[in-house]
Amino acid sequence: MSTQKFATNALHAGHDVTKTGGTRAVPIYQTTSYVFNNAEHAANLFGLAEPGFIYTRLNNPTNDILEQRLAALEGGIAAVVTASGTAALTTALLVLLKSGDHIVASNSLYGGTYNLLNVTLPRLGITTTFVDPSNPDNFTKASKENTRVFFAETLGNPKLDVLDLKAISAEAKAFKVPFIVDNTVPSPYLLNPIAYGADIVIHSLTKYISGNGTSLGGAIIDAGNFDWSNGKFPEFTEPSAGYHGLVYHEALGNAAFIAKVRIEGLRDFGGALSPFNAFQIIQGLETLPIRIQKHSENALALAEWLEAHEDVEWVNYPGLKSSKYYELGQQYLPKGQSGIVTFGLKGGYESAKKVADQTKLFSLLANIGDTKSLIIHPASTTHQQLSDEQQLATGVSKDLIRLSVGIEDIEDLKADLKAVFANIKNPQLA
């Protein structure tokens, strides 16, 4: 594992220029497949007797560099990149779980993930109990004999609750199930969940890691610490019918999970990342440390400005002293609390929609983590399919406006919101 620091790894990890013809930039290996030396070489690759590239749905040299870089940045043993953050989560869960299994998940989740767990996976017989993660023992309390995974977002989107990782990973360890976390919102620069006991880290690379808003991508990073032979995961200790009798734990030890993700998960579910997108994501990743610091700095400044504004009813940002997550934020995210800020205006739901309509610099769209500032009204968009009760559980009130604060000049961002607030006719202020 690399001993170099984060910013150096963000630029160099995984790329040995002597193996890519001396190219200083990571090349795009835009190929579906790889010519085998001969039939024996082909058989060895398929039989895992020697490493190498087979087919881009399984592995690709551009993707491989991104995978090594992400593993280095998160402190994991290995990573697999996928077509989107959603593909990463779905692939990780479907590699581990089968019909009849159960997940305990935080209720503070991105709306798409909530739907996956609440509606789609139950159709396959995989059910989820959602719990309030602010009490870590809720995870154990909701566990059943068939529980196989604890899942949470390290910084919930859009609730912005900071997870007590140490406490929840202790619960997962005691219950002998892997603790899977989605670390998309902090990015690995602000938080490394593996250092606090997480077993598997999921990222949507679409967001801060890419930052340029051009490409979808996802990643699964394995800490390599979980004991898959603890009796709860027989598919790791018994011969796999899906891979000619391979006993994953015996053959691959602590790399059993990430190997299964690649050789069965990517093979069978097909959620591979395009090498072109991997290239785009690598361009972004190189500057992540500088960008995410600026996002955090701007978000804090804007949250403080909003808090002092007379038209604003409430502001939520874990870097604000008034936030109930401030202490956990200082503990787990001391370098900055990322770029998402939520707030409500005194005019409530109607004013929220108007703000989303009228900003000029903040673009109205469904994404986060772009270098450019973004805005959305989740109750009428991303979280529309959830019931009112579910919306509240995921942290979405009707009046909530979510900002993804970009790296523009802070004075221009304030001016954009100020002009909109002045435009909104608010009967309560009149």
Ligand X SMILES: Cc1ncc(COP(=O)(O)O)c(C=O)c1O
Task: Decide: is 84 part of the binding site for ligand X (CB under 6 A).
Answer: yes
Q: Which of 134, 135, 150 is nearest to 101 (CA)?
A: 150
Q: Name the minimum Å distance from CB 38 to ligand X.
A: 39
Of the candidate residues 14, 61, 76, 112, the single one contacting ligand X (CB under 6 A): 112
Strands 401-404 and 374-376: antiparallel
Strand order in the sheet with 218-222: 78-82, 218-222, 200-204, 179-182, 147-153, 102-106, 127-131
- Measured from each CB, the residue nearest to ligand X is 85
Nearer of residues 184 and 192 to ligand X, judged by Cβ: 184
Q: Name the minimum Å distance from CB 76 to ligand X.
A: 18
Task: Decide: is 85 part of the binding site for ligand X (CB under 6 A).
Answer: yes
SS3 155: strand
Nearer of residues 196 and 208 to ligand X, judged by Cβ: 208
Task: Decide: is 74 part of the binding site for ligand X (CB under 6 A).
Answer: no
What token pair was written down for 340?
């998402």
What token pair was written down for 99?
């019909």
Q: Quick one: which segment of 106-114, 262-270, 324-332, 406-414 binds ligand X (CB under 6 A)?
A: 106-114
Q: Name the minimum Å distance from CB 209 to ligand X.
A: 10
Nearer of residues 45 and 66 to ligand X, judged by Cβ: 66
Q: Quick one: which segment of 32-40, 44-52, 81-89, 280-288 binds ligand X (CB under 6 A)?
A: 81-89
Q: Which of 151, 110, 155 is nearest to 328 (CA)?
A: 155
Rounded Cα distance between 183 and 151, Å, is 11
- What number of chain residues touch ligand X (CB under 6 A)? 16
Which DSSP state fits 255?
G
Task: Decide: is 318 part of the binding site for ligand X (CB under 6 A).
Answer: no
Task: Decide: is 197 part of the binding site for ligand X (CB under 6 A).
Answer: no
Rounded Cα distance between 349 and 49, Å, is 60
Q: Name the minimum Å distance from CB 169 to ligand X.
A: 19
Nearer of residues 216 and 393 to ligand X, judged by Cβ: 216
Task: Decide: is 153 part of the binding site for ligand X (CB under 6 A).
Answer: yes
Distant-in-sequence contacts of 111-114, Cβ < 8 A, 24+ apart: 111/378, 111/382, 111/383, 111/385, 111/386, 111/394, 111/396, 112/86, 112/382, 113/86, 113/89, 113/153, 113/182, 114/386, 114/390, 114/394
Q: Quick one: which segment of 64-72, 84-92, 117-125, 339-347 binds ligand X (CB under 6 A)?
A: 84-92
Contact residues for ligand X, defined by CB under 6 A: 84-86, 110, 112-113, 153, 157, 182, 184-185, 204, 206, 216, 218, 368
